[in-house]
Structure 1
Amino acid sequence: MKRIWLLTGRPGIGKTTAIFRIVDALRGRNVSVGGVISLEIREGNVRVGFKLIDVRTGREGILAHVNFSIGPQVGKYRVNLEDLRSIAAQSILDAINSSSVIVCDEIGPMELYSREFREAVLKAIESGKIFIGTIHYRVRDKLVDYVKSLNETMVIELTFSNRDEVPKAIVNQVLSMLEL
């Protein structure tokens, strides 16, 4: 049975929604879940950035924003390496010690600029814990390729036809692995 799930798919297909559904369902069964989720920041109908949320504590930070003037540039956004370290990477490291399941949304071009984030993801993968992440559909990176190549990893492409069933299937497999 797989213990690492990586969800991929086109932008807007529902990867983050799937992670939220998985987290909510597992918490409903008293499973401890930790890690990080990223959400869009919108002003009106315009996306202006992304925020990071520590799943366990609710602590928030900014991943990237159009108004930032420093940090690596990805498209129209500048990446906030400090919050990637102090919130995203730290929440993953904390989850290794405190949670049965680690979630990471997203492993993408912005996040991969952070050495600490990359190290935290690798430690989470190597921890033996259940890991559920999302990967950018076009990301090409040694870390992502390594995780995808592991026998314990299942990569699932979310589509309009499977995006409601995939979270349920993952939750059922996780509960079975945890014998709940």
Structure 2
Amino acid sequence: MVSMPHNALITGPPRSGKTTALERTVSRLRTAGYSVGGLSAPDRRKDGERVGFELVDIASGDREVMADVAYTAGPRVGTYRVDVSAIDRLTRTALPAALRSADCIVIDEIAPMQLESERFVRETKRALESPTPVLAAIKDGETDGGIGDVKHRTDTELFRVEPATRDALPETLAAWVRSVTQP
């Protein structure tokens, strides 16, 4: 018997609306009484320009600066330096807590910055292997390495953010979560 995928991967080019779609989906799920946990990675801006990224525990609101253009240490991903210890600190608490008590786990996003953390990789894999549905934004285009490993899982369904689907996607994803959590 083939089981229905219980992990939804949201992909699209940078700035296509993946994070916004996930934020709106979380809002819909919470309004419907679902508890949601996990991590989000909003960008940080200064004078309208992106200067870095935060990592936020969706359930508690705890946050850390994950990457910044001004950092001088840490792995380089694009124009940013990554604070792996910040990713480790939030991942250590947010994903295990979501696994214990959330009806849905959100991971925004599975991308090169986050993959610098072995803890993030390990906890993300645990979440994807759990019976709890996972909604995860994932870097567009790549099919190799850690990102490829996630995309090639047989327990995932892919949702692409496109101009024609962007506005309807949060309701589509909320309905998907409701369908996989029905007995």
Q: Which amino acid counterpart does residue 117 of structure 1 have in structure 2?
A: F
Identity %: 33
When the two chains are superposed, the root-mean-square deviation of aligned CA atoms in Å is 1.5
| Partner of residue 90, structure 1 | 93
- Alpha-carbon offset, residue 141 of structure 1: 4.1
Is the Cα–Cα contact under 8 Å of residues 142 and 148 in structure 2 kept in the other structure?
A: no
| Partner of residue 113, structure 2 | 110
Whether 1:22 and 2:36 are equivalent positions in the alignment is no
Deviates more, 1:89-98 or 1:158-167: 89-98
For 2:143 and 2:153, the matched residues in 1 are separated by: 16
Whether 1:43 and 2:50 are equivalent positions in the alignment is no
Q: SS at the partner of 1:110?
A: helix
Q: Which amino acid counterpart does residue 59 of structure 2 have in structure 1?
A: R
User: What whole-Å deviation, never above 9, does each CA across 1:6-52 have from its counterpart, x for those lacking one?
Assistant: 11111111000001011000000110110000111000111110011
For 1:121 and 1:61, the matched residues in 2 are separated by: 18
TM-score, structure 2 length as denominator? Answer: 0.92
Q: SS at the partner of 2:112?
A: coil
| Partner of residue 166, structure 2 | 163
Q: SS at the partner of 1:78?
A: strand
Change (3 A) 1:119 1:33: same
- Alpha-carbon offset, residue 163 of structure 1: 1.0
User: What whole-Å deviation, never above 9, does each CA across 1:60-119 have from its counterpart, x for those lacking one?
Assistant: 101100111111011111001111001135311221111111000011011111100000
Counterpart selection for 1:11 from 9, 14, 17: 14
Change (3 A) 1:141 1:91: farther
| Partner of residue 34, structure 2 | 31
Change (3 A) 1:98 1:20: same
Aligned pair count reads: 180
| Partner of residue 79, structure 2 | 76
For 1:92 and 1:106, the matched residues in 2 are separated by: 13
| Partner of residue 122, structure 1 | 125
For 1:64 and 1:29, the matched residues in 2 are separated by: 33
Whether 1:60 and 2:63 are equivalent positions in the alignment is yes
Change (3 A) 1:76 1:142: closer
For 1:161 and 1:88, the matched residues in 2 are separated by: 33
TM-score, structure 1 length as denominator? Answer: 0.94
Q: Which amino acid counterpart does residue 146 of structure 1 have in structure 2?
A: D
Is the Cα–Cα contact under 8 Å of residues 54 and 87 in structure 1 kept in the other structure?
A: yes
For 2:125 and 2:5, the matched residues in 1 are separated by: 17
Q: SS at the partner of 1:129?
A: coil
Q: Which runs of 5+ in 1 are unaligned?
A: none
